[in-house]
């Protein structure tokens, strides 16, 4: 499997405090990865660097088949290049139906002019139906999104990101506030999504990470402390000390 994203030797300081310290990270196409670490480990800043929100002081961030540097690109250019990000709080359009939210997300992939003159084809309707099935909302297609449970809103937002067909999807704490059954379904969605794209999941919940059943990267003080299977990293003495032993 070829490398899709390579972060090497990246550091960033805020007012002299090194939030990211010589961090290196790689992910392949169609790989699922969990990123864990205690509060303040640098997980959010790490994602901010990939999406272009924060520019590092040093290091390289190389992406895609041509090895483009993401550091030279704006946030919107990075998004256009196929990097999608899901924040913790869902931001679906509550007054619109699930169907309309997914359809709008499909439109967005076609640029501003296409949005103005957009007429959904039956092909688009099929795509929306397929996305709804992928996120487990086929039965709720015509419900107002505002009426959905917290978990369902999160799934809808994942579906809206998938509608844009990202090559790399970054997901921030998807399990927060979910019921155990919703968490299970969320791991299924993410595992399925990672069959055709790279998915990075930042998560605190260990049971959730165990169900993801993927390679885990442990961050601590802005660097990678350990990497490997969950069983491997949870046996690491340093990991136990800084994170799990608390």
Interacting residues toward ligand ATP by CB under 6 A: 14-15, 19, 37, 39-45
Nearer to ligand ATP, 67 or 177 (CB): 177
**Shortest Å, Cβ 46 to ligand ATP:** 7
| Cα–Cα dist 42/11, whole Å | 11
Nearer to ligand ATP, 37 or 166 (CB): 37
The DSSP code for 97 is: B
Nearer to ligand ATP, 148 or 218 (CB): 218
| Cα–Cα dist 224/24, whole Å | 7
Pick from 223, 148, 211: which is nearest to 183 by CA?
Answer: 211
171: left (phi over 0), alpha (psi -120 to 50) or beta: beta
**Shortest Å, Cβ 216 to ligand ATP:** 14
User: Rg of the Cα trace of the chain?
Assistant: 18
| Cα–Cα dist 107/93, whole Å | 15
**Shortest Å, Cβ 183 to ligand ATP:** 18
Nearer to ligand ATP, 45 or 186 (CB): 45
**Shortest Å, Cβ 12 to ligand ATP:** 9
**Shortest Å, Cβ 188 to ligand ATP:** 24
| Cα–Cα dist 242/228, whole Å | 17
Nearer to ligand ATP, 11 or 97 (CB): 11
**Shortest Å, Cβ 223 to ligand ATP:** 12
Question: What number of CA atoms fall less than 13 Å from residue 153's CA on the CB side?
Answer: 20
Nearer to ligand ATP, 42 or 159 (CB): 42
Long-range contacts of 175-181 (CB under 8 A, 24+ apart): 175/203, 175/205, 175/208, 176/88, 176/204, 176/205, 177/150, 178/150, 178/151, 178/154, 179/151
């Amino acid at each position: 499997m070829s490398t899709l994203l390579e972060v090497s030797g990246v550091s960033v300081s805020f007012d002299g405090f090194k939030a990211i310290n010589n961090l290196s990270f790689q992910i392949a196409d169609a790989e699922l990865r969990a990123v864990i670490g205690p509060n303040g480990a640098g997980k959010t800043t790490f994602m901010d660097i990939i999406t272009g929100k924060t520019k590092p002081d040093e290091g390289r961030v190389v992406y895609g088949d041509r090895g483009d540097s993401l550091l030279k690109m704006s946030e919107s250019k990075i998004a256009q290049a196929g990097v999608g990000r899901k924040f913790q709080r869902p931001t679906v359009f509550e007054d619109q139906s699930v169907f309309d939210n997914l359809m709008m997300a499909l439109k967005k992939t076609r640029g501003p002019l296409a949005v103005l003159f957009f007429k959904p084809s039956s092909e688009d309707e099929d795509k929306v139906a397929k996305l709804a099935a992928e996120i487990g909302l086929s039965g709720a297609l015509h419900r107002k999104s505002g009426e959905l449970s917290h978990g369902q809103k999160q799934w809808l937002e994942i579906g809206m990101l998938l509608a844009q067909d990202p090559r790399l999807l970054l997901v921030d704490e998807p399990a927060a506030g979910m019921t155990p059954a919703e968490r299970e379904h969320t791991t299924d969605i993410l595992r399925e999504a990672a069959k055709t794209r790279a998915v990075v999941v930042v998560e605190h919940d260990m049971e959730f990470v165990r169900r993801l059943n993927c390679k885990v990267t442990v961050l601590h003080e802005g660097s990678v402390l350990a990497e490997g299977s969950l069983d491997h990293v949870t046996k690491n003495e340093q990991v136990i000390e800084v994170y799990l032993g608390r």
